[in-house]
A and B are shown apart, each in its own frame.
Chain A
Amino acid sequence: MSGNSSEYILEVNNLHTSFFTDSGEVKAVNGVSFNLKPGEIMGIVGESGSGKSVTAYSIMQILAEAGRIIEGEVLYKGQDITKFSKKQMAGFRGKCCSIIFQDPMTSLNPVYTIGNQIMEAILLHTNKTKQEARARAIEMLELVGVNEPARRIRQYPYELSGGMRQRVMIAMALACEPDILIADEPTTALDVTIQAQILELMQELQKSLGMAIIMVTHDLGVIADMCDKIIVMYGGSICERGTADDIFYSPSHEYTKGLLRSIPNVNNSKERLIPISGTPINLLNMPKGCAFCSRCDNAMKICLDHKPEELAISETHRASCWMNVKRLMMEKEAGGVKA
């Protein structure tokens, strides 16, 4: 990574996270590296078990008990937060970086009022008095489009609809104006019309507050809609990264290509889908070579034994697939013959 750390607000270098279970070590994240500029929206896309949520949880250090970061660093403004103490981490969460979870039904505490839960973060991270915190909570609820905020802060989560609860989650996450917002499948549990409201709200808030967003999702539509740059994960590693146009119009990893072929074509909806064969890999039993090779139609001998290196395709676009190396070699050969 570049030595100039001030350009990036968050740098993740060679992150490895494992869960130690009774049946063995589950390598959920295997050497993930990326960086994030202030105000950027980055998407992490992948199917269940690809390690996208664990990557997000590793940054926040809110892994389940069996999970541990075993290698790598996470730099926030140049400081390695994996070395932070518990107390330092508590200061980091909420103030520098916040997270919104998938399920607004279960991630709010049912026995506290909404106002209480929003004020908790404000009181913890700022020197505001209770009155000031309450005013701030009302202000935040208004910002995220909750009607009658002064009445709502006295209500309990069960009194609100799913979309409203997700707004409350966002208000809570943004109350201390973090630099980074991690959204872990923020709209998966919501209906399409409510999803559109929430995505619109997040885009507006990102523009007005200027925070960076890491959007974790499996929905390619949401990714296309929201993100400047995209990371595609499979089996705990990044298989391709690039801008939205790179990923959607010139996918360069067999998995990304397969993923795009397996969703209905927008312009020709009756065209037959081309599924990816097989089932997602078992993280307990990772192959030696490329994680995707057992499901790949173009797998070669080298894919079985050697992990592909990340190869730059353009300035913004990188992919880890032996097919690109093969193509490059063939181009070189063809060029050589001509010369």
Chain B
Amino acid sequence: MSSEYLVEVKDLKQYFPVSTGFMKKTSLKAVDGVSFSIRPGETLGLVGESGCGKTTVGRTILRLYQPTGGEVLFDGRKVTNSNITELRKEMQMVFQDPYSSLDPRMTVEDIIGEPLDVHKLYSTRAERREKILNLMELVGLNAEHARRYAHEFSGGQRQRIGIARALAVDPRFIICDEPVSALDVSIQAQVVNMFEDLQKQLGVAYLFIAHDLLIVRHISDRIAVMYLGKIVEIADADELNDNPQHPYTISLLSAVPIPDPKITRQRKRIILQGDVPSPMHMPTGCAFRSRCRYATEQCARECPSLADRGNGHMVACWNK
């Protein structure tokens, strides 16, 4: 059974238990009812401020965390604890920090080879080595460096190692959790281009989690905006930029510093008041209402759900 979508996330919930005192427990709602779907070969950008739950979404899809509720379908199959090991051959992850996500005591060859070992994807040592060298070439690493350790590489090269490791099992879907935010501007472009080339070559789909809106807009086909555990808007990348609907998206876009002095001189920033509320003490109703200019009584009573405003542009807001 296969559907139009490669990955479907339905009403995903991830609550973390937090102890608030002796014998007292409450839950932190990191992800609270998130739904989206990704087509084969598509890139969905996921943006939001720190603490909004975007990383948790990525990790929960891969069952690095046990979801509290909701379900994830991969190619029409429900992801469960019993089939996740097998499904990790199809779904992989690239982590944010290229320094802490590679084992310092393993050579590059072993780092990239580990997924091959786990899933037993070779029959002879020679085949394993050949696969590893092909992967290194694919991500633009010098094959002569296979015996080196991760610390001998620069940040950009380490991120390439992480990507080669993710590609080792020939996945159809990769979750990229802030893969370029730890890199310098000039190196970012190298890695972003590589993601695009690999997608063209191998047809993988990406969930691209990042907070840099310019990069996300560049790489994504569609973008989802998260605020405090919920998706507030999803639309095509250009549509979202040209015609944002949710007040949070509007202020987020207006706050992005644009590297063009003429544009910045002309535009008006919409400065949001206050900070993101703590997910421990969330406002009732719409989570954004405490910072929203349009907030009404209805926003305090009920939380708006995502509604289609035409052409797949989904917005969760009562007033817009």
Residues of A within 8 A of B (CB): 47-48, 161, 163-164, 191-197, 199-200, 218-225, 244-245, 248-249, 258-264, 266, 269-270, 272-277, 279-280
Contact = CB atoms under 8 A, between A and B. Distances in A.
B264 A224 contact: yes
A177 B252 CA distance: 32
A249 B265 CA distance: 14
Contacts of A195: 255, 257
Nearest to B291: A193
B79 to A, nearest CB: 31
B141 to A, nearest CB: 12
Contacts of B261: 224-225, 244-245, 248-249
Interface of B: 49-50, 154, 156-157, 184-190, 192-193, 196, 211, 213-215, 217-218, 237-238, 241, 251-252, 254-264, 269, 271-272, 275-276
Contacts of B260: 224, 248, 266
Contacts of B156: 279
A161 B51 CA distance: 12
A218 B184 CA distance: 8
Nearest to B263: A266
Nearest to B220: A269
Given A221-B264, A223-B259, A260-B259, 8 more contacts: A192-B252, A196-B255, A196-B257, A196-B272, A244-B261, A245-B261, A262-B186, A273-B193
B187 A275 contact: yes
A269 to B, nearest CB: 5
B189 A276 contact: yes
Contact of B257 (A221, A244, A249, A264): A221
Nearest to B50: A191
B155 to A, nearest CB: 9
Contact of B259 (A199, A224, A277, A280): A224
Closest 9 CB pairs of A and B: A221-B257, A275-B189, A262-B189, A196-B255, A220-B259, A264-B218, A191-B49, A276-B186, A47-B184
Interface of A is mostly: helix
B193 A272 contact: yes
B188 A270 contact: no
Given A269-B217, A269-B237, A272-B196, A193 B186 contact: no
A205 to B, nearest CB: 15
Nearest to B191: A275
A262 B257 contact: no
Given A218-B185, A280-B184, A192 B259 contact: no
30 contacts: A193-B49, A193-B251, A193-B252, A193-B271, A195-B255, A196-B254, A196-B257, A197-B272, A221-B214, A221-B256, A221-B257, A221-B259, A221-B264, A224-B259, A224-B264, A225-B264, A259-B185, A263-B259, A264-B215, A264-B218, A266-B214, A266-B258, A269-B217, A269-B238, A270-B218, A272-B196, A275-B193, A277-B190, A279-B154, A280-B187
Contacts of B185: 47, 218, 220, 259, 262-263
Taking each of B254, B263, B264, B272, which has the highest tally of chain A beta carbons within 10 Å of its own beta carbon? B264
Contact of A266 (B157, B187, B237, B259): B259
A266 B257 CA distance: 11
B214 A193 contact: no
Nearest to B197: A272
